[in-house]
């Protein structure tokens, strides 16, 4: 393997890793506050791409408007899902909410099949993102810079919201204990709604980037990215935002390097992701950046 090829693979890894990272943040945020694995996250991601698709393809909106609208609509969708499927179960055993999340995931994937149709659609890709750029023998498109940059900006913005604002304080209070937070005058329901709005908006950003990168969308597309980004979130320490980003990058890099160094084993790429998950959980049950399990008193 020459240096050039290795660097090309690093570039490939950065692009894939930052896509995983974007999705993993949404998982980790919801888990951090509700201790709920939102299995519907992958489907929210899928539906966001259809919002953007219909905006450009059916309503002929300029792509900037369509993408912005898709992010807002997806955030609303996240809030609605939380109201309808998770809030009524907030005092039920945690397993009930988990089952509800799996139910929502299946419901949305199947609704997607009925409403959007089973055949894949072509996502509109503004040519500006596809401008080829060559850097010392490494070939990338403009999108290569956009995705990691966006991930970095969102990571900083999120850390600001969570650690520097009143809303973030409410979210962190809710994370500790709903009842105590309520006694302190925190509107827990509002904090949770905002968490879902932000998490879903991030899924939408991830979805749009996914569409821009791969051009194809279909109603089943949420399943595998959803699972992998869940792995990335667990890997980095679920509940920890920086951990999710780290986990996403490691997973993306790992997959690319597995194929790059062992092309004969390329078919085992998904298996690799799951093996890594098992190993990490054996060695560090709370993930790379995860805290020690806190016990609620």
Partner 1 sequence: MVLRRRLMMVLLCLALVSLGSAMAAETEIRIGVYEPMTGAMAAGGQQTMEGIELAHEQRAKVLGLPVRVILVDNRSDKVEAATAVTRLIQKDKVCAIIGSYGSGLSMSGGPVAQAAKVPVMGCSPTNPLVTLGNDYYFRACFIDPFQGRVMAQFAFDKLGARKAAIIQDIAQDYAVGLANFFKQAFVELTGDPKSVVAFTSYQTGDRDYTAQLTYVANAKPDVVFAPGYYADAAVLVTQARSLGLKMPFLGGDTFEAPEFIEIGGKNVEGVYFSTHYSADAPVTPASEKFVALYKAKFKTAPNTFAALGYDCYNLVLDAIERAGSSDPKAIRDAMAKTKGFVGATGIITLDSNGDATKSAVVLVVKDGQFKLVDVVHPR
Q: By CB under 8 A, name the one of 79, 141, 155, 288 that touches partner 1.
A: 141
Q: By CB under 8 A, name the one of 106, 160, 163, 224 that touches partner 1.
A: 224
> What gap in Å lies between CA 36 and CA 28, rounded to an integer?
9
Kindly write out the interface string for residues 173-202 of this chain, putting x where it contacts partner 1 by CB under 8 A and - elsewhere: ------------------------------
**Does residue 228 interact with partner 1 by CB under 8 A?**
no
How much is the CA Rg of the chain, to the nearest whole Å?
19
2: left (phi over 0), alpha (psi -120 to 50) or beta: beta
**Does residue 210 interact with partner 1 by CB under 8 A?**
yes
Q: Contact region for partner 1 (CB under 8 A) — 130-138, 160-168, 275-283, 287-295? A: 130-138
Q: Which DSSP category does 87 fall into?
A: G
Q: Contact region for partner 1 (CB under 8 A) — 29-37, 62-70, 172-180, 211-219? A: 211-219
Name the minimum Å distance from CB 85 to partner 1: 24
Residue 234 burial by Cβ neighbours in a 10 Å radius (0-12, 13-18, 19+): buried
Q: By CB under 8 A, name the one of 94, 164, 190, 269 that touches partner 1.
A: 269
Beta bridge partners of 33: none
Residue 174's CB is within 10 A of a number of other CB atoms, namely 24
The number of residues in the chain equals 297
Strands annotated E in 81-212: 121-122, 132-135, 138-141
Q: Which residues bind partner 1 (CB under 8 A)?
A: 1-2, 5, 8-9, 12, 15-16, 113, 117-120, 122, 130, 132, 134, 139, 141, 210, 213-216, 218-221, 224, 255-260, 263-264, 266-267, 269-270
């Amino acid at each position: 393997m020459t240096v050039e090829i290795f660097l090309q693979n690093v570039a490939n890894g950065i692009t894939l890793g930052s896509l995983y990272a974007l999705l993993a943040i949404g998982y980790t945020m919801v888990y951090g506050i509700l201790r709920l694995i939102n299995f519907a996250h992958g489907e929210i991601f899928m539906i966001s791409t259809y919002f953007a698709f219909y905006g450009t393809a059916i309503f002929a909106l300029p792509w900037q408007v369509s993408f912005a609208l898709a992010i807002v609509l997806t955030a609303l969708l996240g809030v609605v899902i939380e109201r309808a499927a998770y809030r009524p179960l907030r005092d039920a055993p945690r397993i009930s909410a988990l089952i509800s999340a799996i139910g929502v995931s299946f419901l949305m994937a199947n609704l997607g099949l009925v409403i959007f149709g089973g055949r894949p659609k072509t996502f509109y890709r503004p040519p500006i993102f596809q401008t080829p750029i060559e850097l010392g023998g490494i070939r990338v498109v403009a999108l290569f810079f956009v995705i990691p940059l966006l991930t970095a900006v969102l990571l900083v913005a999120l850390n600001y919201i969570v650690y520097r604002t009143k809303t973030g304080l409410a979210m962190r209070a809710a994370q500790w204990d709903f009842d105590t937070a309520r006694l302190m005058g925190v509107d827990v329901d509002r904090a949770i709604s905002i968490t879902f709005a932000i998490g879903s908006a991030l899924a939408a950003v991830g979805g749009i980037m996914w569409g821009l990168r791969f051009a194809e969308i279909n109603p089943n597309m949420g399943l595998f990215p959803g699972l992998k980004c869940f792995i990335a979130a667990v890997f980095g320490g679920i509940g920890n935002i920086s951990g999710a980003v780290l986990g996403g990058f490691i997973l993306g890099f790992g997959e690319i390097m597995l194929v790059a160094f062992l092309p004969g084993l390329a078919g085992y790429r998904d298996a690799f992701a799951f093996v890594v998950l098992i190993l990490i959980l054996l060695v560090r049950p709370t993930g790379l950046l995860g805290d020690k399990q806190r016990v609620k008193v």
